[in-house]
Amino acid sequence: MNLKGKISFIIGIAGFIACIFITATDVKSTIFKIALGFVLGGAIDLIVFLIENKKHWNLLKTRIFKANQPVRVTVAYLFRIEMNGRYVLIKRHKNDRVGYQPIGGAFKYFKEENRELFDKLGVEPCDHVPRDEKTDHDLRIRLKRRKNLIDFIKWFESRKNREMDPWREFYEELVEPGLLQEDIFKHVKYVFICKHTEGILKSPVYPIDEFRYAEIYELRPETDAQKKAIANLISHTEQIVFATPDEIRKGATNDGRTILPHTFKILPK
Q: Which of 52, 76, 92 is the last residue of a domain?
A: 52
- Determine the Cα angle at 264 with ends 261 and 268, to 5°: 175
Average pLDDT over residues 32-38: 79
Q: What is the pLDDT of residue 256?
A: 94
Q: How many CB atoms lie within 10 A of CB 2?
A: 11
CA nearest to 119, candidates 141, 138, 94, 86: 141
User: How many CA atoms lie less than 13 Å away from 4 in the CB half-sphere?
Assistant: 5
**Left if phi > 0, otherwise alpha if psi is -120 to 50, otherwise beta: which for 251?**
left
Contact criterion met (CB below 8 Å) for 212 and 262: yes
> Are 44 and 86 members of one domain?
no
Encode pLDDT of 40-87 as tens digits: 777 776 666 655 555 655 665 666 678 899 999 999 999 999 999 999
Q: What is the pLDDT of residue 84?
A: 92
| 3-state secondary structure at position 194 | strand
> Does residue 57 lie within any of the structural domains?
no
Counting the structural domains of the chain, the total is 2
Q: What is the pLDDT of residue 135?
A: 79
> Are 25 and 99 members of one domain?
no
Whole-number Å distance between alpha carbons of 45 and 9: 9
Q: How confident is the model at residue 269 (pLDDT cuts 50, 70, 90)?
A: confident
> Are 165 and 215 members of one domain?
yes
CA nearest to 101, candidates 227, 247, 255, 254: 247
Domain boundaries, position 159? 64-266
Contact criterion met (CB below 8 Å) for 106 and 139: yes
Is the model's pLDDT at 263 over the cut of 60?
A: yes
Report the range of poorest mean pLDDT among 79-83, 91-95, 236-240, 248-252.
91-95
Contacts of 253 (CB under 8 A, 6+ apart): 100, 241, 243, 247, 259
> Are 151 and 213 members of one domain?
yes
Average pLDDT, the chain: 87
Share of the chain above pLDDT 90, in %: 61
Share of the chain above pLDDT 70, in %: 90
Is the model's pLDDT at 28 over the cut of 60?
A: yes
> Does residue 251 lie within any of the structural domains?
yes
β-pairing, 140-143 with 123-125?
Answer: antiparallel
Q: What is the pLDDT of residue 205?
A: 79
Contact criterion met (CB below 8 Å) for 248 and 91: no
CATH code, domain with 149: 3.90.79
Runs of H (alpha helix) within the chain? 3-21, 25-52, 111-121, 149-158, 167-170, 224-231, 245-250
Q: What is the pLDDT of residue 203?
A: 84
Encode pLDDT of 168-201 as tens digits: 999 999 999 999 999 999 889 999 999 998 888 8
Q: How confident is the model at residue 206 (pLDDT cuts 50, 70, 90)?
A: confident
> Does residue 134 lie within any of the structural domains?
yes
CA nearest to 146, candidates 213, 202, 64, 205: 64
Q: How confident is the model at residue 158 (pLDDT cuts 50, 70, 90)?
A: very high
> Are 131 and 205 members of one domain?
yes
> Are 137 and 34 members of one domain?
no
Max CA separation in the chain (angstroms): 89
Contact criterion met (CB below 8 Å) for 58 and 245: no
Is the model's pLDDT at 133 over the cut of 90?
A: no
> Does residue 19 lie within any of the structural domains?
yes
Q: What is the pLDDT of residue 237?
A: 84
